[in-house]
Structures are given as C-alpha cells and as structure tokens.
Amino acid sequence: MTALPVATAGALGLGFWRMLGGMSSGGFDPHAVNAPILDRSLPDFTLPGLPGQGDGFDSATLRAQKEPVLLNFFASWCIPCVAEMPALRDIGRKLPIWGIAYKDKPEDAARFTARDGSPFARVAADRSGMAAIDWGVTGVPETFLILPGGRIAWHGTAELTDDTFRHEIQPRLQALR
Amino acid sequence: MRIPRAILALGLFLAAGPAWAVDDPSEMLPDRKQEQRAEAIGSQLRCLVCQNESIEDSSADLARDLRHVVRQHVARGETDRQIMQWMTARYGEFVRLKPRLTWATVMLWAMPALAIVIGIATAATTIMRRREAPTPLSDDETRRLHELSESPSDATGHD
C-alpha cells in the first residue's frame, strides 16, 4: 500500500527532473514562443531595400548563401537595437549580418544604420511587419542564424552581445566544420 | 426621483461591457458572422507582447497585426483549425491561450487530482496502521518482560 504513493512521487519527481534538465539544456522552454521555426527552412519573402543601401533581398537569395548568415530584425525606434549596434559591428566582421528594418520608415532605418557605419552586409525593409510574422518575430531586436541552404539553426530574442555570440552562435558554427 | 448611488454605479458597471481593443471600426469585417468568428478565434490567441492578454484585448502593435491576419484568413474562408495551425506554425503552442492536451499538459491537469489521491491514500494507510491491535507478546517476550521488571538494577541496559 505504501509502494503506490512512493512510486507515483518517484515518477513525478523523474518527470520534473527531466523537465528541469530540458529547461537548462535548452531542450524544453515553456516560453519558447518561436521554437517552431528552429531547424526549418526560412519562410518565403521578398523585401525592398533602404534608400541608398541596395535593393533589399528575398528568401531565395538568403537560401543560396554558401556561408552561414545572421539575420537581424531591428528598428530605429527600438532602444535595445541602438544598444546592440556596437556588438553587431564587431560580429559583422566575423560573419555576415543581414538586416531587416521592422515596421520602420525606410528613411529612418537608413539613417539609423548609416550613423556609425552599417553593421549589415545587406538590408531590407519590412514596413508592414508581415514578413516578420512569418519568422515568428514578436518584437525587435531578434536575430536568427541561417545555415547554407536556408536552415534556421538558432534564434535569439534579445539584443545581441559578444557573450551571446561566443556562447550561442560560435559553438553552432564550429559544429558545422 | 433619486436613483440610489449604488444602483446607479452597478448599472453603469453592467452597461460598460467588455472593453475590446478593436476600437477602430475599419478593422472589423463587414460581415457580422465573420467578424464574430474572427473575434472568437482572436480571443483564443495569446498576444505575444503582453503574454496574458488575447490579441482581441491587447492594444499592442503586433496584436493589431495578428487581428488583421486572422480577419484576412476568416474572409478567405479558412476553418478555425487552419487559422490556429497557421498561428502555431509561427509562434508555437504558446500562442494558444487554451493549451491542447499533450503529455506535458496532462501532467498539469492531473496534478491537483493526484495530490488529493496521494494525500488520502497516505492518510488512510497511517490511520489503518494505528488502528491495528498490537500482536500479543510471545512466551519469550513475556519471560523477558518479567525478568526486566523484577531486576530494576539491570535496567541500565547491558544485554
């Protein structure tokens, strides 16, 4: 008779232990709003460029890249986006970063990226924010690591820092080699 | 005639109704049936910015965009299921305000019932054990008890 409650408690404990283990290893995140896009091919889109900064890009061009690319959603009106700019410029020297201006006036976004030197290899504007919804973006800044062929390997929902780059992105790049 | 203040307050409170964030009539679908469906679907979808409001209640920018998307899909004649699938493909299960039944949610729902069952089982076993009459002493034990009670000097206990 005592075996039943003990066994149940044991099973529950094991369940919770596995859940907590998953939470710390990243296998289970109850708040993972955007987990569905991981390990999938990037969504289709075609976006125009910013004034004086190229013609924008589309999903096919991004998929055709032979090297990994970081894709960063940003906006001139977003304070963490301002804060992450120096880190983006650093990281951009190691790995190309493509930018998408989210719900921003193209002129404002162009001024914003050009202010201290653009960290972006290419930029595009998503004025309506509809392309961002297909990516599962819930706010700016958000960053995706895109592997050759267009597979999404990582998604960050906070401002990008050197620390994030070293601990989240670099190990995934090394795993490719 | 004076209306008592409390009744007036209650009346006003009841008359106010739910405050929908859809405050711009141009957001709504012209077809009343379709608009009602869109509202029903939207109230099942979490606003991912404020997280504990539905997109129908939230005034966040993203919620407005998602309301718009839901209405587009409804107008196109998609089923509730299709629209929910479209949303979960982008934002995951988290976007549902009512989670689906999965192993993780089964555990969540079952927890209170399990706690009660385990509690009752534990209490019952404890009470049953207490009620059990002690088994009578064996001959050996009776003899030993006698020895102990007859020689109090030995009670300090080397065996």
pTM of the model: 0.74
CATH number of the domain that residue B10 is part of: 1.10.8.640
Residue with tokens 């009346």: B11
Which residues of chain B make contact with A35, given a CB cutoff of 8 A? Answer: 92
Rounded distance between C-alpha atoms, residue B134 and residue B77, angstroms = 75
Note whether B74 and B109 are same-domain residues.
no
Mean per-residue pLDDT of chain B: 84
Nearest to A47 by CA among A85, A118, A104: A104
User: Do residue A130 and residue B95 have CB atoms under 8 angstroms apart?
Assistant: no
The answer to whether B110 and B101 have CB atoms below 8 angstroms apart is: no
pLDDT (mean) for A157-161? 91
B113 lies in the same domain as B81: no
User: What long-range pairs does A79-85 form, CB within 8 A, spacing at least 24?
Assistant: A80/A140, A80/A141, A80/A158, A80/A159, A81/A112, A81/A140, A81/A141, A81/A159, A83/A159, A84/A141, A84/A159, A84/A160, A84/A161, A85/A116, A85/A119
Q: Which residues pair with A97 in a beta bridge?
A: A70
A122-126 and A97-102 strand pairing: parallel
Q: Above 0.85 for ipTM, yes or no?
A: no
- If asked whether residues B10 and B87 sit together in one domain, one would say yes
Distances in whole angstroms, Cα of residue A41 to Cα of each of A36, A46, A63, B114 = 11, 15, 8, 42
One domain, residues A126 and A170? yes
The residues near A99 (Cβ < 8 Å, ≥ 6 apart) are: A71, A72, A73, A74, A113, A118, A119, A120, A122, A123, A124
Domain total of chain A = 2
Is the CB of A15 inside 8 Å of chain B's CB atoms? yes
% of chain A beyond a pLDDT of 70:
95
Return the residue in B90, B108, B116, B127 with the most chain A beta carbons within 10 A, the one to mutate for interface testing.
B90
User: Quick one: B11 and B89 in the same domain?
Assistant: yes
One domain for residues A11 and A93: no
Rounded CA separation B121/A11 (Å):
17
Say if residue B12 is in the same domain as residue B83.
Answer: yes
Judged against a pLDDT cut of 90, whether residue B105 lies above it is answered with no
**CB within 8 Å of B59: residues ≥ 6 apart:** B21
Instruction: Compute the distance between CA of residue B88 and CA of residue A86 in angstroms, rounded to an integer.
Output: 34
Does residue A136 share a domain with residue A61? yes
Q: Which domain holds residue B136?
A: 103-156
Q: Which residue has the tokens 């679907």?
A: B41
Q: Residue A82 is part of which domain span? A: 31-175
Nearest by CB to B90, which of A4, A136, A139? A136
Which tokens is B151 given? 């020689």
Contact A135 B89 (CB under 8 A): no
Q: Are the C-beta atoms of residues A137 and A49 closer than 8 Å to each other? A: no
> In total, how many domains does chain B have?
2
Determine contact: A4 vs chain B, CB below 8 A: yes
Residue B150's pLDDT is 83
What's the pLDDT at B42?
94
Token code pair at residue B47: 């606003």
pLDDT of residue A2: 72
If asked whether residues A103 and A22 sit together in one domain, one would say no
Rounded Cα–Cα distance for residues A151 and A158 (Å): 21
Rounded Cα distance between A70 and A152, Å, is 10
pLDDT in tens, A74-116: 999 999 999 999 999 999 999 999 999 999 999 999 999 999 9
Q: Are residues A15 and A79 in the same domain?
A: no
Whole-number pLDDT of residue A12: 83
* 3-class secondary-structure state, position B96: strand
Does pLDDT of B22 surpass 60?
Answer: no
Instruction: Please indicate, yes or no, whether residues B110 and B88 belong to a single structural domain of this protein.
Output: no
Assess whether A56 and A72 both reside in one domain. yes
The string of pLDDT tens digits covering residues A106-143 is 999 999 999 999 999 999 999 999 999 999 999 899 99
Q: Are A143 and A136 in contact (CB under 8 A)?
A: no
Confidence of residue B66 (pLDDT cuts 50, 70, 90): very high
Binned at pLDDT 50, 70 and 90, residue A30 comes out as low
- Residue B131 confidence (pLDDT) above 90: no
What average pLDDT does the segment A41-50 reach? 95
